[in-house]
Amino acid sequence: MLVPFPFTDRSAQKRRPAVVLSQPSFQQASGHVLLAMVTSAKQSSWPLDWPLEQWGSAGLPQPCLVRFKLFTLDARLILRALGTLHAEDRQGVISSLVQLLGATPPGQPLPNH
């Protein structure tokens, strides 16, 4: 998706690609979409950055990575769809998200806390 990305360190917004993380049922119920930033930045890193191997199929013009700076956005503000993550990239994003949240994938036992 192409969205107006909210920066925390600026008052401005920039149009940039993002990966949709939320399910359609959440989007329909809330009117919002949970997104992760997509960036071509090579000079910095963020925990759990996922480099997209098949960036072309995602509708991106150059190599990029999914950066887990997460945000919600009113679905009406989405500018347009760009493409679809390749299955391997989708699985990598899911794995990183599970790791970020400390969640347990379906079918796995819950961790002891």
Q: Where are the domains of the chain?
A: 2-101
Q: For residue 81, name the pLDDT band (cuts at 50, 70, 90).
A: very high
Average pLDDT over every residue of 81-87: 94
Between 50 and 111, the more confident residue is 50
Say what the pLDDT of residue 7 is.
56
pLDDT at 29 over 60: yes
On the question of pLDDT at 106 being above 90, the answer is no
How does pLDDT run across 40-79, given as a tens digit for each residue?
Answer: 987 888 889 999 999 999 999 999 999 999 999 999 999 9
Give yes or no for residue 21 having a pLDDT over 90: yes
User: Domain 2-101's class?
Assistant: mainly beta
Residues 49, 93: Cα–Cα separation, whole Å: 9
CA distance 72 to 75: 9
